[in-house]
Structure 1
Amino acid sequence: MAFLRDLPLSALRALAAAARTGSLTRAADELGVTPGAVGHQLRQLEDRLGIKLVRREGNGIALTRIAEAALPDIDRGFDALASGLRRLRFERRADTFTVAADPSFASLWLAPRLGNIRAALGRLDVRVVVSIALDSMLDEGIDLAISYRNSSAKHLASAELFTERVVPACAPALIGNRSDRDGAGMLDRLPLLHIDQTMGDDVYPTWENWFTAAGRQRKNIDHGPRFPLTVLAAHAAISGMGALLASELVLREHFRSGQIVEIAGEVPALTIRRRLVWPVDGPKARRAAAVAAALASTATADASDLRLTTP
């Protein structure tokens, strides 16, 4: 047993990779190390075992007869280790309820409302991770996803969370008099803040979408600071850097406190729809449905409250 405890797994991985690729260079690429490191690990393993494991063969390498005979057992050993690690991950997940959401939404809307789903979670601890592709939910151990995308997959259930109004907004200091809010012409001169769709919140409408819907045109519409996430762009808007297309519900507290105000209110708002998605089968499917219902109830109350408090 002491022999097994001291056996270097990295060297065995190097041996398996060398066997698969037939080359120290390709084995090194697979393992993310240098060819010299692979060769060193193989020599260490040979010294420890007191047997020859590989031999030069042309421009590559080949296993010796004894190493080739042992390789299936080594591969099975790595498979068993991987299976054990998957089981450990599953057991850890068994005590948690994992929710996937984009970082901006998670920090601005979801996190402050996690207390509302405490009863639905039972004894499970909530874990929030970044958004993933819906078809990867089962593989990634995601119990509930909050997404703009709707899945038609039969193994996933979904329900609407809310429809968000996305409106132009900026810091009050940029517009001066409150009556100035009601003019789309303001947006012909204000600096525009952008959410970079290639980096983060790729479903948010762009300024081009808004100007097209408003029937207006503006030169250099793509100019201005760009941010990877809505939450970062919101902080830039609050500091007075420019106007932002803002989700009224997600940035509700910023609107309520007066840190940002809606402008060009005479132009109909753009809308985006956010959904709750969860696996229909599995040990936490019923729990996911209960959490989804609790979040939907919270969203309904938020939307109602927002209508009552919006001037």
Structure 2
Amino acid sequence: MATLRDLPLSALRALVAAARTGSLTRAAEELGVTPGAVGHQIKQLEDGLGIKLVRRAGNGIVLTRAAESALPDIDRGFDALASGLRRLRFERQAETFTICADPSFASLWLAPRLNRMRPAFAGFDVRIVTSIALDAMLEEGVDLAISYRKGAALDLGSVDLFTERVIPACAPSLIQGHARPDAASVLDGLPLLHIDPTMGDDVYPAWRDWFAAAGRRRKDIDQGPRFGLTIVAAQAAIAGMGALLASELVLHRHLQPGHLIEIARDVPALTIKRRLVWPLHGPKARRAAAVASQLAALADLAIEGALPQ
């Protein structure tokens, strides 16, 4: 006779699904396997236990009396397993301080500053994840968000981090010989690179916003390559594929050595404001507020010395 240690959980799940649906086919659809696999798993369970668990009834199946009497305990067992896994996830989250930010900002500004923040994270492992909706922070186990989104729920605290200029830039080779690289007209004929908001960095205004602010029109304004991450789009811009509209902060390391240059300076730059947001309630609320305060202080230092520091 098989012991509990010998019984595969997949076979028990197959039995529960078959009992709930009354059909091997529907149980297979629910579990994402074939009906044959469900039948095989139940047969293995029957062989291991030495008892019949299901029998055919027309086009479906029904439980035997023995299986029917045991099913509530099996269901409770799965509920207990799920509860135990939730507890393990909670315990892991309790040891981790999770920050979410868009990937380009996280890699170019946040990650280099984490070493200076180590005292604030004492006792916690830091985890960086991509941006999520602010109203999902507690559900997703996120302790601090770096967000550009306006508005926040009443149970979220927030503090401004800094305001960034969003500028058009391109490789110097792309505008060689252009009479007025600082004029808006320089962008009338350049290929345009786009940050795709459905793929990654959805932080920045689009080219349509820039041309509207500049009071100019262009028929092919939405055409051109699209990139999920600004750091990838910047490499395409350096290679001369086109002009990119992105945060000056994220482009800084390419602007400083001249791999990219800001163009159309005569048009006032668009801006975005980043904020630090955290849940006001929960076991790490005070820690999150302290981390936010220290990150904001680092941002002030960077602004005084010209972003990024």
The TM-score, its normalising length taken from structure 1, stands at: 0.93
CA distance in 2, matches of 1:191, 1:67: 68
Equivalent pair of 2:158/2:278 in contact (CA under 8 Å): yes
Alpha-carbon deviation of 1:151? 4.7
For 1:267, the aligned partner's letter is: V
Matches within 5 A, 1:93-112: 93-112=93-112
Corresponding residue of 1:8: 8
CA distance in 2, matches of 1:2, 1:129: 44
Aligned pair count reads 309
Q: Does 1:288 align with 2:294?
A: no
Alpha-carbon deviation of 1:150? 3.8
For 1:163, the aligned partner's letter is: T
CA distance in 1, matches of 2:159, 2:47: 61
After superposition, the C-alpha distances for 1:154-187 in whole angstroms (9 at most, x for unaligned) are 3221122222210100112222369743111110
For 1:223, the aligned partner's letter is: Q
Corresponding residue of 2:167: 167
Equivalent pair of 1:27/1:35 in contact (CA under 8 Å): yes
Alpha-carbon deviation of 1:117? 1.8
Alpha-carbon deviation of 1:58? 2.8
Alpha-carbon deviation of 1:79? 1.2
Corresponding residue of 1:301: 301
Corresponding residue of 1:32: 32
CA distance in 1, matches of 2:307, 2:97: 32
CA distance in 1, matches of 2:212, 2:196: 19
Q: What's the secondary structure of 2:271's corresponding residue?
A: strand
Q: What's the secondary structure of 2:249's corresponding residue?
A: coil
Equivalent pair of 1:170/1:263 in contact (CA under 8 Å): yes
Q: What's the secondary structure of 1:89's corresponding residue?
A: helix
Corresponding residue of 1:143: 143
Aligned Cα RMSD in Å? 2.1
For 1:49, the aligned partner's letter is: L
After superposition, the C-alpha distances for 1:175-210 in whole angstroms (9 at most, x for unaligned) are 236974311111011111011122222342111111
Dislocated runs of 4+, deviation >4 Å: none
Structure 2 unmatched ranges of 5 or more: none
Matches within 5 A, 1:1-311: 3-176=3-176, 180-306=180-306
Quick check: 201-210 or 163-172, which moved more?
201-210
CA distance in 1, matches of 2:103, 2:26: 38
Alpha-carbon deviation of 1:89? 1.7
Structure 1 residues 307 and 71, CA gap change in structure 2 (3 angstroms) = closer
Equivalent pair of 1:116/1:294 in contact (CA under 8 Å): no
Equivalent pair of 2:101/2:145 in contact (CA under 8 Å): yes
The TM-score, its normalising length taken from structure 2, stands at: 0.93
Structure 1 unmatched ranges of 5 or more: none
CA distance in 1, matches of 2:250, 2:111: 11
For 1:103, the aligned partner's letter is: P
CA distance in 2, matches of 1:50, 1:308: 69
Equivalent pair of 2:134/2:152 in contact (CA under 8 Å): no
After superposition, the C-alpha distances for 1:101-160 in whole angstroms (9 at most, x for unaligned) are 121221122111212322211222211112222222112211111122245323221122
CA distance in 2, matches of 1:235, 1:51: 65
